């Protein structure tokens, strides 16, 4: 088995939502790979320093360097660590996560070409990013979807729904959590028993804004903070509709999890989501930041139990394709190749 050095933002150990490195590194170890990771430092400067140091220290040990690649400020971690790998003649694979990577390809074409074309491979977790990179002329591409352990997600078929909404994501402005509160506020006018549960850690000021808005308007909202996987899966049994309000996205694991649990999904149709959800078959898709259309979608589910039941079962069928027992073979084929 090969020695893997995995570079990424390890957030789970310091209270954040688990990232790709948090999820994949233990799974690779279970498959027999030796894996070292970096970094969990909170300071961005210290984190970058530790990442670069890890590459230098392990240059003779590592057979392959895996680099989580995002699209905003964390994009520069990938740029700098990949350049160091080039200088040290280390093979690296980029794991593409950022929902704004298509814009990055357009805004920084020369920098992007230097980063992505020199990679041994670029792993796209969505058909959306795969197609974007393919159209941009990249051929060193492989599609490997985000995965779940399907056995951990017991399906609860939903038919006659109650207006109990579940939102699971880190509180960040790009995920537009405030929209969930405004939807609840509007839904209460017709469904006074409606309620909302928001699960996820605080990432920016949007958390405080949501809490203050809920208090000011006396909305029936439960803020749980970060929960473990098993905790939010257990919590999901008490809710009937999954809300995804994001403005920018790739292929969120939380959405795959909701589908596996049989939760009818109402989501914005941004980024890679239309490649994951098929409108009116596995979920309901609406334009971003469109409260009117999203509210209508919620009411449709509440008023049409047959439709909700079909979405619930179809979504579960789709989620089965993302089981780790299937996905891991793609990873092993890549990581074990010469």
Between the two ends of the chain, the Cα-to-Cα distance in Å is 12
Residue 71: alpha-carbon gap to chain centroid: 13
* Whole-number Cα distances in Å, 306 to 160, 194, 260, 275, 311: 8, 20, 19, 24, 9
Taking the model in full, what pTM does it have?
0.88
The half-sphere exposure of 324 on its side-chain side, counting CA atoms within 13 A, is: 15
CB distance 198 to 225 below 8 Å: no
Q: Whose CA is closest to 102, among 142, 121, 75?
A: 75
* pLDDT for the residue numbered 233: 95
Three-state secondary structure readout of the chain = CCEEEEECCCCHHHCCCCCHHHHHHHHHHHCCCEEEEECCCCCHHHHHHHHHHHHHHCCCCCCEEEEEECCCCCHHHHHHHHHHHHHCCCCEEEEECCCCHHHHHHHCHHHHHHHHHCCCEEEECCHHHHHHHHHCCCCCEEECCCCECHHHCCCCCCCCCCCEEEEECCECHHHCHHHHHHHHHHHCCCCCCCEEEEECCECCCHHHHHHHHHHHCCCCEEEEECCCHHHHHHHHCCCCEEEECCCCCCCCHHHHHHHHCCCCEEEECCCCHHHHCCECCCEEEECCCCHHHHHHHHHHHHHCHHHHHHHHHHHHHHHHHHEHHHHHHHHHHHHCCC
- Matching residue, tokens 């895996």: 66
CA distance 172 to 254: 15
Q: What is the pLDDT along the chain (338 residues), one digit of tens a residue?
A: 899 999 999 988 777 778 899 999 999 999 999 999 999 999 999 999 999 999 999 999 999 999 999 988 889 999 999 999 999 999 999 999 977 899 999 999 999 999 999 999 999 999 999 999 999 999 999 999 999 999 999 999 888 899 999 999 999 999 999 999 999 999 999 999 999 999 999 989 999 999 999 999 999 999 999 999 899 999 999 999 999 999 988 888 999 999 999 999 999 999 889 999 999 999 999 999 999 999 999 999 999 999 999 999 999 999 999 999 999 999 999 999 87
CB distance 115 to 93 below 8 Å: no
Enumerate domains of the chain plus CATH numbers: 3-144 (3.40.50.2000), 150-321 (3.40.50.2000)
CA distance 171 to 166: 14
């Amino acid at each position: 088995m090969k020695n893997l050095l995995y570079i990424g933002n390890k957030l789970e150990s310091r209270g954040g939502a688990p990232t790709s490195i948090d999820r994949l590194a233990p799974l690779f170890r279970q498959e027999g790979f030796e894996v070292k990771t970096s970094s969990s430092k909170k300071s961005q400067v210290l984190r970058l320093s530790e990442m670069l140091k890890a590459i230098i220290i392990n240059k003779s040990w590592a057979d392959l360097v895996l680099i989580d690649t995002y699209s905003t400020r964390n994009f520069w971690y990938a740029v700098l660590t990949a350049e160091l790998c080039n200088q040290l003649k280390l093979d690296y694979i980029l794991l593409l996560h950022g929902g704004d990577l298509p814009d990055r390809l357009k805004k920084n074409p020369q920098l992007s070409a230097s980063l992505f074309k020199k990679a041994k491979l670029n792993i796209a977790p969505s058909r959306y990013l795969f197609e974007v990179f393919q159209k941009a002329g990249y051929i060193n591409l492989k599609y490997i979807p985000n995965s779940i352990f399907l056995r951990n997600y017991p399906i609860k078929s939903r038919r006659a729904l109650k207006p109990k909404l579940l939102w699971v994501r880190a509180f960040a402005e790009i995920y537009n959590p405030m929209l969930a509160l405004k939807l609840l506020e509007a839904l209460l006018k017709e469904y006074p028993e409606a309620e909302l549960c928001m699960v996820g850690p605080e990432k920016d000021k949007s958390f405080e804004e949501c809490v203050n808005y809920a208090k000011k308007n006396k909305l029936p909202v439960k803020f749980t903070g970060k929960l473990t996987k098993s905790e939010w899966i257990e919590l999901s049994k008490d809710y009937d509709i999954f809300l995804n309000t994001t403005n920018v996205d790739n292929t969120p694991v939380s959405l795959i999890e909701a589908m596996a649990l049989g939760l009818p999904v109402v989501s914005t149709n941004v980024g890679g989501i239309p490649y994951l959800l098929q409108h009116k078959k596995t979920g309901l898709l609406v334009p971003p930041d469109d409260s009117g259309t999203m509210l209508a979608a919620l009411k449709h589910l509440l008023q049409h139990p047959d439709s909700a039941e079909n979405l619930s079962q179809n979504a579960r069928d789709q989620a089965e394709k993302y089981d780790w027992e299937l996905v891991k073979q793609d990873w092993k084929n890549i990581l074990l190749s010469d």
